[in-house]
Homo-oligomer: A and B are copies of this chain.
């Protein structure tokens, strides 16, 4: 990996300008851009030949490449990276788009439904695949547990989190447990855990209830055994909602059916995406852009990710976009950022 920061000084004004033109034009047209075109339309005081020289330099440094001898130049991942960090201008989000987003958010009051629809809209506006994860509960603050007996030997556990999010889990109890006993255990748990995050609870639950072990029904023991299920974002709870497939297939890269397969792979295999988002989560910044091979995953090496965090009183989730590396970063980044903020505002009200 070349150190991009170092490169900033190494590139002359002219080189930067030409790199800018190549990336910008390629993003717009998906066609490799040639020296003659730049000379004619964008950099009129330079001849095509001079531009070719510059391009050759840029290729040597690793910012550009070309698919075959007589084709125009195409940005490399590194080229995109430089473009994003130093050359690109962020595009203002249109008022109509802001309006559409707010209208969509207001429309439903079920949280998951809202996220799903927002994801669809995000895909539609950006013409890319969109991803939205449901809130990451482990940093949420425990408020209250409620135990409800269901037919036979089932027990419904309701866990409230401070922001108003509620999580329900069904547990299998060995035998029927009397109501007053349930209440008693519930009270104990509530007293001891209130104010902690789910993550803290998960890590210290056993210690905190050690002294109540010798009760009759083994209910506490059941809780200890199920602690992961109760206080972790289980696979089926922390959902990744993927939308906008029909938008992305209009992109010119998908005339080639083999690229098609890779997209299908992506939407069927949520695990890949979950994995990548985890990586993003470790970052400190609010939004993250990953270009092509910057994420090590082989299946996504031709795709870029733009994701942002939404934060609802400490409980966070992610929204983002996946698309070909040739992506309109200047437009997509503000869009994702805006949607993340809008979701946060919506969920916290």
Interface residues of A (CB under 8 A from B): 109-110, 112-113, 116, 143-144, 146, 148, 150-152, 154, 156, 158, 160, 162, 164, 166, 168, 170, 172, 234-236, 243, 245-246, 249, 255, 257, 260-261, 264-265, 267-268
Q: How far is the CA of A172 from the CA of B166 in the complex (A)?
A: 13
Give A122 Cβ to nearest chain B Cβ, in Å.
14
B-chain residues with CB within 8 Å of residue A255 when the two chains form the complex: 257
B170-A150 in contact (CB<8A): no
B148-A148 in contact (CB<8A): yes
A267-B249 in contact (CB<8A): no
Q: Residue A257 contacts which of B152, B158, B257, B267 (CB distance < 8 angstroms)?
A: B257
Q: What are 30 A-B residue pairs whose CB atoms fall within 8 Å in the complex?
A: A109-B172, A110-B170, A110-B234, A110-B236, A112-B236, A113-B235, A113-B236, A116-B236, A143-B151, A144-B150, A146-B148, A148-B148, A148-B158, A150-B160, A150-B166, A151-B160, A152-B164, A154-B166, A156-B158, A156-B166, A158-B158, A158-B168, A166-B170, A168-B168, A243-B268, A245-B267, A246-B265, A246-B268, A249-B261, A257-B260
Give A244 Cβ to nearest chain B Cβ, in Å.
8
Q: How far is the CA of A109 from the CA of B148 in the complex (A)?
A: 19
Determine which residue in A110, A144, A172 has the highest number of CB atoms from chain B within 10 A of its CB, and name it. A110
B150-A164 in contact (CB<8A): yes
Given contacts A110-B234, A156-B158, A249-B264, list 12 more A-B pairs with CB under 8 A: A110-B236, A113-B236, A148-B148, A150-B166, A151-B164, A152-B164, A158-B158, A158-B168, A166-B168, A243-B268, A246-B264, A249-B260
Report how many copies the assembly holds.
2
Give A19 Cβ to nearest chain B Cβ, in Å.
33
Q: How far is the CA of A164 from the CA of B149 in the complex (A)?
A: 11
B154-A164 in contact (CB<8A): yes
B-chain residues with CB within 8 Å of residue A113 when the two chains form the complex: 235-236
B261-A246 in contact (CB<8A): yes
B-chain residues with CB within 8 Å of residue A158 when the two chains form the complex: 148, 156, 158, 168
- A254 closest partner in B (C-beta): B257
Q: How far is the CA of A156 from the CA of B150 in the complex (A)?
A: 15
Give A196 Cβ to nearest chain B Cβ, in Å.
16
B-chain residues with CB within 8 Å of residue A264 when the two chains form the complex: 245-246, 249
B-chain residues with CB within 8 Å of residue A246 when the two chains form the complex: 261, 264-265, 268
B-chain residues with CB within 8 Å of residue A267 when the two chains form the complex: 245
Q: How far is the CA of A150 from the CA of B152 in the complex (A)?
A: 26
Q: How far is the CA of A304 from the CA of B249 in the complex (A)?
A: 24
B-chain residues with CB within 8 Å of residue A151 when the two chains form the complex: 143, 160, 162, 164
Q: How far is the CA of A166 from the CA of B158 in the complex (A)?
A: 12
- A111 closest partner in B (C-beta): B170
Q: How far is the CA of A255 from the CA of B255 in the complex (A)?
A: 11
B-chain residues with CB within 8 Å of residue A116 when the two chains form the complex: 236
B-chain residues with CB within 8 Å of residue A245 when the two chains form the complex: 264, 267-268
Q: How far is the CA of A131 from the CA of B283 in the complex (A)?
A: 38
B-chain residues with CB within 8 Å of residue A112 when the two chains form the complex: 236
